[in-house]
């Protein structure tokens, strides 16, 4: 009974989320008490479904780009030829992380204009570090005798990378992607300050019109998405780790 309880809770959350996004009207009575002066209880300046999908798309695009760049960078600096760039790439990626996303937005708008682009840039920079760090850890802590066996079998450098190093690193890299996605899901909301179409729009609309119901529904959708995606990626990670005879941490 214990074992399937969490799964059941997740399923319930997923169903609730889908139903809420698809027909938020059904939940109006629940949110009504949070509004004043007959203000609308359900976001009425656009479709929640569209905003959710756009929000997810923004996060997806930024994460895919961050993954490609971070993993490529980690591969590069763990090759003998690229080892000297290790400190440099570490500091570059760290700068990406220490720079506040709001500042990135402010700097990016003059360069690329309002809309999705500055948000993508901020999310991309912000998502790099966890993926890079994890990929670096994974690629530098591979079991020595397995790597020796790969060389001993006559694999070329490229074959070792594709057939041994990356598959063995996959669970840990996935862990980095998971962290990055969750950070991005939350951070994407501020993209709406520069006119990106994300769920941040709902929250900002609530703040402007002092409508607690808007703020709450925007926040809850983002939170539910984060929980579900985090769980899903954790499950994939555990599966990958189990296949390798490693315990997921």
| Min CB(27)–another protein separation in Å | 46
Q: Judged by CB under 8 A, does residue 167 bind another protein?
A: yes
How far apart (Å, rounded) are the C-alpha atoms in residues 196 and 189? 9
Q: Residues in contact with another protein, total (CB under 8 A)?
A: 20
Q: Judged by CB under 8 A, does residue 148 bind another protein?
A: yes
| Min CB(141)–another protein separation in Å | 14
Query: Which one of 149, 162, 207, 235 is in contact with another protein (CB under 8 A)?
Result: 149
Q: Judged by CB under 8 A, does residue 153 bind another protein?
A: yes
CA angle 40, 41, 47 (to 5 degrees): 85
Q: Judged by CB under 8 A, does residue 23 bind another protein?
A: no
| Closest by CA position to 123, among listed 53, 182, 175, 75 | 182
Q: Which stretch binds another protein (CB under 8 A): 51-59, 107-115, 127-135, 239-247?
A: 239-247
Nearer to another protein, 59 or 170 (CB): 170
Q: 140-169: buried (b, 16+ CB within 10 Å) or exposed (e) per residue?
A: eebeeeeeeebeeeebeeeebbeebbbebb
Q: Which residues bind another protein (CB under 8 A)?
A: 143, 145-146, 148-156, 159, 164, 167-168, 243-246
């Amino acid at each position: 009974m214990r074992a399937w309880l969490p799964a059941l809770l997740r399923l319930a959350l997923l169903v609730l989320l889908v139903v809420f996004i698809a027909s938020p009207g059904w939940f109006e009575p629940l949110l009504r008490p949070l509004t004043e002066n007959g203000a609308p209880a359900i976001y009425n300046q656009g479709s929640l479904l569209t905003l959710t999908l756009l929000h997810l798309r923004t996060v997806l695009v930024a994460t895919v780009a961050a993954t490609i760049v971070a993993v490529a960078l980690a591969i590069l600096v763990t090759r003998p030829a690229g080892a000297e760039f290790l400190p440099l790439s570490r500091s570059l990626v760290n700068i990406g992380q220490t720079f506040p996303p709001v500042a990135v937005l402010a700097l990016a708008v003059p360069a690329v204009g309002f809309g999705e682009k500055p948000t993508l840039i901020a999310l991309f920079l912000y998502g790099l570090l966890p993926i890079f760090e994890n990929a670096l850890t994974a690629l530098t802590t591979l079991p020595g005798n397995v790597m020796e066996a790969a060389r001993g079998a006559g694999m070329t450098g490229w074959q070792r990378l594709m057939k041994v190093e990356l598959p063995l690193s996959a669970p840990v890299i996935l862990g980095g992607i998971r962290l990055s996605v969750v950070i991005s899901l939350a951070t994407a909301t501020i993209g709406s300050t520069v006119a990106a179409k994300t769920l941040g729009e709902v929250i900002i609309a609530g703040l402007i019109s002092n409508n607690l119901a808007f703020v709450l529904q925007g926040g809850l959708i983002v939170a539910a998405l984060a929980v579900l995606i985090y769980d899903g990626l954790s499950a994939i990670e555990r599966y990958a780790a189990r296949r390798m005879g490693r315990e997921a941490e």
